[in-house]
Amino acid sequence: MLHPSSWKVSEKKPKFYYKELVGPEITFPMQLFRSLDGDGFLVKRIHAVFNPVLVDAFILNKTKLDGRAKSASDLFFLERWLDEKCSEEKKLLKQQTSKALKDLLFTCPWNQNLKGKLPIMVAAHGTSLDAAWRICSNGFATLSIIDSGFYGSGIYFTTSAKYALPFLISTPDPCLIVSYLIPGNAYPVTENPKDEYESLTGATLYRGYQSHFVRTYANGLPISSTTETEYYDEIIINQETQVCPAFLFELDSSNFKLFLKHFQREIAVATARRTRPLAAINELDSGELTPLVDSDIFGSLLEGQ
C-alpha cells in the first residue's frame, strides 16, 4: 500500500488523506472486519483514512497515558469497583466483565508484548457517509455526537457488527468507521438502565476510569447471569483523543432486514445527533489476523510496543 502522503487530499481544512482500497489492499481491513463479527453484511467501498492532526493527538494521549500507567500503575489500574457495596453475584458479574475486556484486548496480536504500555483495540462506530467524512476531518467531538446512552454519556463503539444494526437501519448512506481505541482503565458496567436506582443513563463516566465497558444481550440490556457465555459489547469513551479513525466502510443496506429481527431493542434518547457503532463485510478471506505493525497505515502508532 502506498504511503498516505501519496493518497488523495481532502478539499476542506483541516486536511486529511484518503484512498479507496482495491485488490490486495483490502486484505488487512477485511481481516479486521472478521474480528468484528462482520460476516453477512455487504460493503460497497472501503477507504483508508489518515488525518495527521488526529493521529498526532492520539499518539500524544497514548504517550501520556502510558507514562501515567508506568509511573503509578497501582493507582492507574485501581479497580475501585471491587469496593462497591453490592451482592456477590453482582461483584462476580463485574469481575467477568472486566476479564472479558482484557481477553478481548489480547486477541489483538500487537498487544502480545506491551512492555508496560497500554493496549490498543479495534472498534467500530456507525453513522452516515456524510458524517463519517466530517469525523475523518475534524474528529468525533466536533459533531456534537455525545450520546446520553444507557451506559454513560460519551462516544459509543462496539466490536460486534450485528449488535449495532438497529442504529444504522434508518441512516442515509450507512457507513462505519473502524478505529484504533485506547480503553485505558475501563469500568465494568453491569448496572441495568431499567433500574432507576442504578441506571447510568446520561451519567458522566466514573472518575478514575478512561472508559466504560459493558457486556449485553441482543436486546441491549446488560448481562445478568454469571453463567452466560454469549454476549455483545459496548465501549464508551468521552475523550476523542482516545480514538483514531483508520478505515471507512460504505455499507449496502439491502440485506439489513435479514439480521434486524434478532436485534430489535429500545435505545436511549441522545442529547444530540445519535450515531452508534456497526462493523460489516460481505466476503472475507481466510487466514489469521495480520499484526497491525504489518500495515503501512498506522504502524507508527505502535512503534516500540
What is the per-residue pLDDT across 59-118, written as a single tens digit (0 to 9) for each?
Answer: 999 999 999 999 998 889 988 898 888 889 999 999 999 999 999 999 999 998 888 899
Cβ-contact 183, 210 below 8 angstroms: yes
Does residue 271 have a pLDDT over 70?
A: no
Judge whether 106 lies within some domain. yes
Integer-rounded Cα radius of gyration of the chain: 18
Query: Does the pLDDT at position 144 exceed 70?
Result: no
DSSP line for 196-232: TTT--TTPPPPTT-SEEEEEE-TTSPBP--TT----E
Say if residue 222's pLDDT is above 80: yes
Q: What is the strand order of the sheet 121-128 is part of?
A: 8-9, 17-20, 42-50, 243-252, 174-181, 121-128
Per the structure, the complete domain to which residue 252 belongs is given by: 24-302
Exposure string over 238-261, b if 16+ CB within 10 A, otherwise e: bbbbbbbbbbbbbbebeebeebee
CA dist 18 to 4, 73, 231, 246, 280, Å? 7, 38, 34, 10, 19
The pTM score is: 0.86
Q: How many residues does the chain have?
A: 305
Q: How far apart are CA 141 and CA 145, in angstroms?
A: 7
In a domain, 168, yes or no: yes
CB neighbours of 253 closer than 8 A, spacing ≥ 6? 168, 169, 174
Q: What is the pLDDT of residue 273?
A: 30
DSSP annotation string for 185-197: SEEEE---TT-TT
* d(C-alpha 294, C-alpha 25), whole Å: 12
Predicted confidence (pLDDT) at residue 179 exceeds the cutoff of 70: yes
Instruction: Tell me, yes or no, whether 18 lies in a domain.
Output: no
Residue 17 lies in a domain: no
Cα 102-155-75 angle, rounded to 5 deg = 45
- How deeply is 290 buried, as exposed, middle or buried, from its count of CB atoms within 10 A (0-12, 13-18, 19+)? middle
What's the CATH number where 124 sits?
Answer: 3.90.228.10
Asked whether the beta carbons of 244 and 54 are under 8 A apart, the reply is yes
- For residue 36, being part of any structural domain is answered with yes
Q: Is residue 11 part of a domain?
A: no
In the predicted model, is pLDDT for residue 278 greater than 60? no
Angle, alpha carbons 169-173-176 (nearest 5°): 75
The H helix count followed by the E strand count for the chain is 6, 10
Pick the more confident residue, 281 or 147. Answer: 147
Q: Cα-flanking dihedrals φ and ψ of residue 110, to 5°? A: -75, -5
Does 201 score more than 80 pLDDT? yes
Whether 135 shows a pLDDT value over 60: the answer reads yes
Centre a 10 Å sphere on the Cβ of residue 224 and count the other Cβ atoms it contains: 13
Residue 86 within a domain: yes
Tell me how many domains the chain contains: 1
Question: Mapping DSSP to helix (H, G, I), strand (E, B) and coil, where does residue 233 land?
Answer: strand
Is residue 268 one of the residues assigned to a domain?
yes
